[in-house]
Amino acid sequence: MRTQVAIVGAGPAGLTLAHLLDRAGIDSVVVEAKSREHVEHRVRAGVLEHGTVDLLTESGVGERLRREGLVHHGIELRFGGRGHRIDLHALTGRAITIYGQQELVKDLIAARVATGRPIHFDAREVTLEGIDGDRPRVRFQDHRGAQAIDCDFVAGCDGFHGVCRGAIPEGALTVHERSYPFAWLGILARAAPSRGELAYASHERGFALFSMRSPELTRLYLQVAPDESLAAWSDDRIWSELAARFAGEDGWRPNEGPIVERMIAGMRSFVAEPMRHGRLFLAGDAAHIVPPTGAKGLNLAVADVRVLSLCLARWYAGDAAALDEYSPRCLARVWRAEHFSWWMTAMLHRFPDDDSFQRKLQLAQREYVAASRAAAASLAENYVGLPFDDAGG
């Protein structure tokens, strides 16, 4: 096989890149380790920034998203037994859209298949060769046997546990990392959301988050110990812990219903830089991870591949220096999101080793955000998403 860009990974990063490159008239081949069924049903993130929605809509994959996505104009911070609404729309003029990552993945795969350009699922033993030269190659195994893709560039969109980051020689990457002393237990429940907007609760017993996927599905999270086992959480324990952490003078609580999905996810902050080595470009979770408290992971992945598609289009049009912009432009946004995600996490979670001084500072920060328009506006502009830089657009 011969193509212009070999894309490793069919998550939001790889699929959005394939779509944007197709729109720019650039050929690509997508190689994904899992089955189509698997990637289309993996329950992950769900908050789309205003700019992410616009990009998807303008590029022609936003039709179902516009129809089924839930547009939210605010979020609630809940602490001290009270709810404090952050009016995202009044503070920024923008909104967010709730649309499950797996729904977006389905739309992007359908768009890919409609172009007739290749996408290979169930690829095993994916390896990269020659990323330091002009003719990289991606090899893999599938049901037909050994395959090779000769290409101009490789896009490493294979997530945190993929192979692409590891193909960069030791010493060429600098890694910045933070782990957190807790994890999130997430559930999807067949229950109508009992309020219209997300609620982030900070409680003595730990953090809790109320979200949703549709008028019939509620998504909820609880802060738990980092080594927590799902087996320790019966349905009753989950619901009573959620009720305790959301308890407030308004009497609000999430509706209960059958739990159709449950998982525990660790929390980390991670950045590998630069996001390019030779002819290999890392994008999305392959290059960086944020804790989910700021709802930035999916949006950052889309922002990366937007820049990559613009830089590649300029390179193919004869601008030899365009690709040098990729890593610094992405990293500027990545570090802003790293800070915001760390800050939201630090403000809202219970840290087991915090002393009373640290806890009082945390409370002062929450009260400031709830009371000050300037502080709330800062949260809001990060939450709805800062504008894309437009250099090279």
Which residues form the interface with ligand PHB (CB under 6 A)?
45-47, 198, 209, 211, 219, 292-293, 295
Provide the β-strand partners of residue 2.
150
Structure-token pair, residue 66: 């516009």
- Chain centroid to CA 176: how far? 18
Query: In this structure, which amino acid lies at residue 251?
Result: G
Pairing of strands 276-277, 280-282: antiparallel
Closest CA relative to residue 175, chosen from 282, 323, 280, 308: 282
Helix (H) or strand (E) holding 256: none
Q: Which does 295 bind (CB under 5 to 8 A by kind): ligand PHB, ligand APR, none?
A: ligand PHB
> Residue 108 or residue 198: which is nearer to ligand PHB going by CB?
198
Q: What is the three-class DSSP state of 226?
A: coil
Q: How far is the CB of 96 from ligand PHB (least distance, A)?
A: 9
Q: Which does 168 bind (CB under 5 to 8 A by kind): ligand PHB, ligand APR, none?
A: none
Q: Which of 19, 72, 120, 277 is catalytic?
A: 72
Q: Which of 221, 292, 326, 349 is catalytic?
A: 292
Q: Cα torsion for 283, 285, 287, 293, to the nearest 10°?
A: 120
Pairing of strands 5-8, 153-156: parallel
Helix (H) or strand (E) holding 78: strand 75-79
Separation between Cα atoms, residue 7 and residue 264, nearest integer Å: 29
Q: Tell me which DSSP letter residue 130 carries.
A: -
Q: Is 169 a catalytic residue?
A: no
Q: Is 292 a catalytic residue?
A: yes
Length of the chain measured in residues: 393
Q: How far is the CB of 278 from ligand APR (least distance, A)?
A: 19
Q: Which does 219 bind (CB under 5 to 8 A by kind): ligand PHB, ligand APR, none?
A: ligand PHB
Q: Which does 101 bind (CB under 5 to 8 A by kind): ligand PHB, ligand APR, none?
A: ligand APR
CA angle, 200 as apex, 66 and 298 as ends, to 5°? 45
Q: Which does 211 bind (CB under 5 to 8 A by kind): ligand APR, ligand PHB, none?
A: ligand PHB
Query: In this structure, which amino acid lies at residue 187?
Result: I
> Residue 45 or residue 91: which is nearer to ligand PHB going by CB?
45
Phi and psi torsions of 246, nearest 5°: -90, -5
Q: How far is the CB of 154 from ligand PHB (least distance, A)?
A: 30
Residue closest to ligand PHB, measured at CB: 211
Structure-token pair, residue 109: 């795969």
Helices (H), ranges, the chain: 12-23, 36-41, 50-58, 63-68, 88-92, 101-115, 235-246, 297-316, 326-348, 356-371, 373-384
> Residue 31 or residue 189: which is nearer to ligand APR going by CB?
31
Separation between Cα atoms, residue 209 and residue 17, nearest integer Å: 31
> Residue 21 or residue 286: which is nearer to ligand APR going by CB?
286
> Residue 348 or residue 376: which is nearer to ligand APR going by CB?
348
Q: How far is the CB of 57 from ligand APR (least distance, A)?
A: 19
Q: Is 72 a catalytic residue?
A: yes
Q: Which does 47 bind (CB under 5 to 8 A by kind): ligand APR, ligand PHB, none?
A: ligand PHB
Q: Is 34 a catalytic residue?
A: no
The site for ligand APR (CB under 6 A) is made up of 8-14, 31-34, 39, 44-45, 101, 123, 126, 157-159, 162-163, 284-286, 297-298, 301
Which residues lie below 8 Å from residue 376, measured CB to CB, with a gap of 6+? 86, 87, 91, 369, 370
Q: So which residues are the catalytic ones?
A: 72, 200, 292, 296, 383
